[in-house]
Each structure stands twice: as C-alpha cells, then as structure tokens.
Structure 1
C-alpha cells in the first residue's frame, strides 16, 4: 500500500492514541509472540490485541489487521511488527505497530475517512478528535 502524503503527521496522532495499548502489548513475552506467529495462530494474537485495547478503547476500535511478523535474528534486537486497524467513528487507519524491548513505533499506511474534507489538516484534526472520542474514560472511585 502506498503511503499517503500526510501519513507522517497522522503517525504522531495514532502513536499518541495507542501509547498505552503498546505498553500493554509489550508485557506479553516475546517467545509467545514468536510462537504464535510461527504457528500462524493469528486468532491468539488477535485476542492479545483485543485484550490490550479493551482497557483503553471502545470495543471494536482497535484490532489485528492482516498479519504480523517476528524479526528475531542472532545479530539484531528482536522486534515484533503487528498490522493493526484503528476504527474510530468516521475513519479507518491501517498501520503497523513495531514493538521492541525499549520502544514502539507506528507506520501509517493508509487512512480512509467516511466523509473526507478537501483540507488534509482538517482530516487529521478529525482523526485526532475521533480517536479521543473512542477512548474509554476511566474515573477513580471517590472516597466518601
């Protein structure tokens, strides 16, 4: 898929929105990701993504896309790449989340808007607002 011209700005929006989810996904053992990927158990990885996402997003907002990769070699630091889909109301974001021991990164491939504006900056602002609406608001119980 060809990157859109405004993908870099939207990568920041997506990265900020899923930062907590990425931290949750990094809690899973690397060996588990490798095993699920090698055995082509995409349902297991989809469950992991869904479980991490349900803590921060409304149901169905974030899900596993078409695949994932384990980059594990003798010479480089291990890295897991997950193809994900973010689906806030009014938009769909196709992106890859790369997880390593100390960092995570986002590469947006494509963003589709239900009702796109002619102004790309308006579309990016809409995406940011839609992602904010999709977040679960957690409130702490008050002490009485």
Structure 2
C-alpha cells in the first residue's frame, strides 16, 4: 500500500487519542492475548478492548476490528498486533495497534470521512476534532 503524505500526522493523532486506552491494555497479561488470539477467541479480545476504552471514549467509539496477531518465538519478546477501529461520529479509522515489551505503535490502514473535504490537511484537522469530541471527560464520569 502506498502511504499518503498525511498518514504520519494522522497516526500521531490516533496514537495520542488512544494513549490512555493503551495503558489499560498493557495491564492485561501477554499470555492472555496469546491464548485468545491462538484459540481464535476474538470475542474475548473484543471485551478486553471495550473494557479498556469505556472510561475514555463514548460507547462504540473504539472497538476490535478483524482480530489480531501474536508474534511469539524463542528468540525475543512477544508482540501483539490488534486490528482496531475508531468510530467517532463523522469518521471511521481502521488501524493496527502493536504492543511490544517497551513500546506501542499505530499503523493507519484507512480513514473514511462521512463528509470529506478536498484538502487532506483539513481532513486531518477534522479527525483530531472528531476524536476529541468522542472522548469522555472526567466530569462526565463523575456526573458533575
């Protein structure tokens, strides 16, 4: 796939938006990820993603896509790759989240805007605004 010039900036926006969710996903033992992926228990993976996202995004905003991959061998640390979808109102972002021993990364596959602008820069700005609107504020959790 050819990467577009605006893909890198959108990956940064998505990575920043899901940062607290990634911290929650890292609390899960890597052996659980490996077992769920190898046994194709993707509903269990979806539950983990939903639970990690529920304090940070409106319901249904972040969810598991088509599954995941577990890269495990005798010579290194495991890597878990999750296919995820971000669905703020107005856009859908298809991406992969890779969780490794000391870091995490995002690879953007596709962004679909309901009402795209002709200018990719404006679409990137719109993506950031849509993701910000989809976040849950602490005041909303507490009920203030």
Contact 1:3 1:110 in 2 (8 A): no
Which runs of structure 2 are paired with 1:90-109 in the superposition (5 Å)? Answer: 90-109=90-109
Contact 1:21 1:53 in 2 (8 A): yes
The Cα offsets for residues 67-110 of structure 1, whole Å up to 9 and x where unpaired, read as: 10001111122110000000001000000000012211000000
TM-score computed with the length of structure 2 as normaliser: 0.94
Q: Partner residue of 1:43?
A: 43
1:4 Cα deviation from its structure 2 partner: 4.7
User: Residues of 2 paired with 1:67 and 1:31: CA distance?
Assistant: 16
User: Residues of 2 paired with 1:35 and 1:131: CA distance?
Assistant: 31
Q: CA RMSD in A?
A: 1.2
Contact 1:3 1:109 in 2 (8 A): no
Of stretches 71-80 and 124-133 in structure 1, the one that deviates more from structure 2 is 71-80
Q: Answer 1 or 2: higher relative contact order, Cα 8 Å, separation at least 6.
A: 1
- 2:49 corresponds to 1:54: no
User: Residues of 2 paired with 1:72 and 1:94: CA distance?
Assistant: 24
Q: Partner residue of 1:125?
A: 125
Name the count of aligned residue pairs: 140
Q: Secondary structure at the match of 1:45?
A: helix
Q: Could you list the runs of 5+ residues in structure 2 that have no partner in the other structure?
A: none
Structure 1 runs, 4 residues or longer, greater than 6 Å off: none
Which runs of structure 2 are paired with 1:1-144 in the superposition (5 Å)? Answer: 2-5=1-4, 6-139=6-139
